[in-house]
């Protein structure tokens, strides 16, 4: 049993007994002869009293000594004790958001019954949606990214520091060859391009790092951009000195939040190296300054860097908030298998509030008018390597409109599976001053919903299912209005 846990349990019990007796800290201090500040430290779990002090408290509060020191909690505090004992608070990355564990414990101890009900509700929701520890960690990471507008200057500076130390010319495309040389010569890596292919069950993995021998196993069918990104990420783990890390790409599971955070930092470092801030910002400005949208210029921008479309879109979520002061945007990644009617939203990021579209876990049908889904439909029909499109999405009932860029590519690791990457930017007067082509009539405008089940658009030819959830909500509103009318007339 951890000493901290024993202190917290004793403090919670003392506070509950004191408040049950309608005693203030000052009152208990007068009754027991112990100082108010000392009692306050005990109740906050910072100090554990000596046996003679416990005897005084037990006598003055008329509670058996054994009950005072027992770790068993009554029904109001039992769930809190389970949470403390499970160490879940240790796993929550409170420090990232400037919250102290003691502050959270104070909140819990001040209203144990209400907090118990709240925590139980969260747990039930998590269980209902199969929301495990890994999902919780990833949700925490997204909140951390959003709180920082997904821009981390320290990592940007570390990339510049690395490039100077190892004479990497960021004005030219970084190649896998020069990064491999650094991994081998500087960090003692062995690159293995053969053994991963011997295990069929590992087909979905791009790389595995074996720390004992410093061997990096690579799938032999990855392209140059993917290989460069993997090498850059491995360099980040070493150059930034991260010990807690993941050893597979893509990840299989996380053991703790530090692994999640360090994996993100290493990916950010890799993206900032492959898509350096200065030349990338310059190309975006060239694109945005044109009065008509040039799809070819956008594709040319993607092709000009040794990076995948996904890496480029991710990088846009770093650069747009920082260098263009575009604070409201979303990033989405959909996957779709040929022949399957479902589209799966596997990754999303929202800056600086929850935008539409967003993930829906109720097995509803995402709007087929989204450009994210339309590019997936196109790439399956055309069988091209990369399909790009842009649209302006208008949401009903005077909701916001978004400029959305989207690219679809084939998943190189899964048969007949495709993915689309999209970035949507909230259209407001500020954006119109920054992007000259917003009024270009060649950009198609679509009225869209979130899911078919909730969409109020009546003449939608792309609708998959009726708006049954919306209809139910409207019916409930009519019932409420009728009841209110009757009550007004009969009162």
pLDDT of 119: 60
**pLDDT tens digits, residue range 428-453?**
999 999 999 999 999 999 999 988 88
- What are the backbone dihedrals phi and psi of residue 383, each rounded to the nearest 5 degrees, phi first? 55, 40
As beta bridge partners, residue 207 has 218, 249
Residue 384 or residue 308, greater confidence: 308
pLDDT of 85: 61
Question: Which alpha helices (H) appear in 196-256, and where do they start and end?
Answer: 224-239
Q: Report, as an integer, the average pLDDT of 376-402.
A: 90
pLDDT at 209 over 70: yes
pLDDT of 1: 46
Q: Long-range contact list for 274-279, CB < 8 A, 24+ apart?
A: 274/174, 274/225, 274/228, 274/229, 274/232, 274/305, 274/306, 274/307, 274/311, 275/305, 275/307, 275/311, 275/312, 275/315, 276/159, 276/170, 276/171, 277/156, 277/318, 277/319, 277/323, 278/170, 279/170, 279/171
Cα–Cα dist 196/56, whole Å: 67
Q: What is the mean pLDDT of the chain?
A: 87
Q: Report, as an integer, the average pLDDT of 190-217.
A: 90
Q: Are 433 and 289 in contact (CB under 8 A)?
A: no
pLDDT of 392: 96
Q: 124-128, 159-163, 167-171 — which is least confidently predicted?
A: 124-128
- Model confidence at 228, pLDDT cuts 50, 70, 90, reads very high
Q: Are 452 and 357 in contact (CB under 8 A)?
A: no
Q: Report, as an integer, the average pLDDT of 470-487.
A: 87
Q: Are 349 and 147 in contact (CB under 8 A)?
A: no
- Buried b / exposed e over 61-79, threshold 16 CB at 10 Å, is bebeeeebbeeebeeebeb
pLDDT of 91: 61
pLDDT of 83: 62
- Model confidence at 281, pLDDT cuts 50, 70, 90, reads very high
Tokens 């420090």 sit on residue: 95
Q: Report, as an integer, the average pLDDT of 264-283.
A: 96
3-state class of 249 per DSSP? strand
Cα–Cα dist 147/144, whole Å: 5
Q: 12-16, 310-314, 428-432 — which is least confidently predicted?
A: 12-16
- Model confidence at 420, pLDDT cuts 50, 70, 90, reads very high
Cα–Cα dist 422/404, whole Å: 7
pLDDT of 97: 65
Cα–Cα dist 428/438, whole Å: 10
**pLDDT tens digits, residue range 72-85?**
776 666 666 666 66
Q: Are 126 and 136 in contact (CB under 8 A)?
A: yes
This prediction has a pTM of: 0.79
Q: Over pLDDT 90: what percentage of the chain? A: 56
pLDDT of 434: 94
3-state class of 432 per DSSP? helix
Tokens linked to 417: 């599976």
Tokens linked to 446: 């679509």
């Amino acid at each position: 049993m951890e000493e901290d846990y024993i202190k917290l349990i004793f403090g919670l019990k003392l506070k509950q007994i004191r408040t049950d007796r309608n005693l203030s800290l000052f009152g208990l201090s007068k009754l027991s002869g112990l100082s108010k500040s000392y009692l306050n430290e005990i109740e906050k779990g910072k100090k554990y009293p000596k046996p003679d002090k416990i005897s005084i408290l037990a006598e003055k509060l008329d509670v058996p000594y054994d009950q005072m020191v027992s770790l068993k909690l009554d029904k109001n505090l039992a769930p809190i004790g389970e949470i403390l004992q499970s160490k879940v608070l240790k796993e929550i990355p409170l420090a990232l958001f400037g919250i102290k564990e003691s502050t959270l414990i104070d909140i819990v101890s001040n209203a144990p019954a209400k907090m118990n009900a709240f925590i139980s509700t969260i747990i039930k929701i998590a269980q209902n949606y199969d929301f495990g520890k890994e999902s919780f960690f990833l949700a925490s990471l997204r909140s951390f990214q959003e709180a920082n507008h997904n821009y981390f200057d320290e990592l940007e500076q570390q990339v510049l520091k690395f490039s100077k130390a190892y004479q990497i010319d960021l004005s030219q495309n970084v190649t896998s060859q020069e990064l491999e040389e650094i991994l081998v010569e500087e960090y003692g890596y062995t690159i293995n391009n053969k053994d991963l292919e011997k295990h069929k069950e590992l087909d979905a993995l791009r790389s595995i790092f074996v720390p004992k021998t410093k061997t990096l196993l690579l799938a032999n069918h990855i392209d140059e951009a993917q290989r460069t990104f993997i090498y850059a990420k491995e360099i980040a783990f070493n150059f930034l000195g991260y010990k807690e890390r993941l050893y597979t790409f893509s990840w299989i599971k996380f053991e703790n939040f530090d692994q999640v955070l360090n994996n993100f930092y290493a990916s950010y470092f890799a993206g900032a190296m492959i898509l350096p801030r200065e030349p990338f910002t310059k190309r975006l400005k060239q694109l945005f300054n044109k009065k008509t949208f040039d799809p070819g210029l956008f594709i040319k921008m993607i092709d000009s860097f040794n990076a995948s479309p996904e890496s480029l879109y991710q990088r846009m979520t770093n650069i747009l908030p920082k260098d263009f002061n575009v604070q409201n945007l979303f990033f989405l990644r959909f996957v779709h298998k040929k022949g399957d009617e479902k589209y799966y939203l596997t990754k999303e990021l929202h800056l600086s509030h929850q935008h539409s579209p967003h993930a829906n876990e109720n097995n509803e049908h995402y709007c087929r008018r989204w450009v994210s889904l339309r590019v997936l439909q196109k790439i399956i029909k055309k069988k091209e390597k990369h399909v790009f499109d842009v649209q302006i999405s208008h949401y009903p009932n005077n909701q916001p409109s978004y400029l959305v860029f989207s690219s679809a590519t084939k998943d190189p690791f899964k048969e007949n599976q495709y993915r689309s990457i999209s970035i949507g930017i909230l259209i407001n007067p500020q954006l119109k001053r920054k992007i000259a082509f917003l009024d270009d009539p060649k950009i198609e405008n679509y009225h869209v919903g979130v899911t078919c089940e909730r969409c109020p658009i009546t003449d939608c030819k792309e609708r998959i299912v009726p708006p049954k959830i919306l209809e139910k909500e409207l019916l409930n509103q009519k019932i409420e209005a009728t009841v209110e009318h009757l009550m007004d007339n009969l009162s």
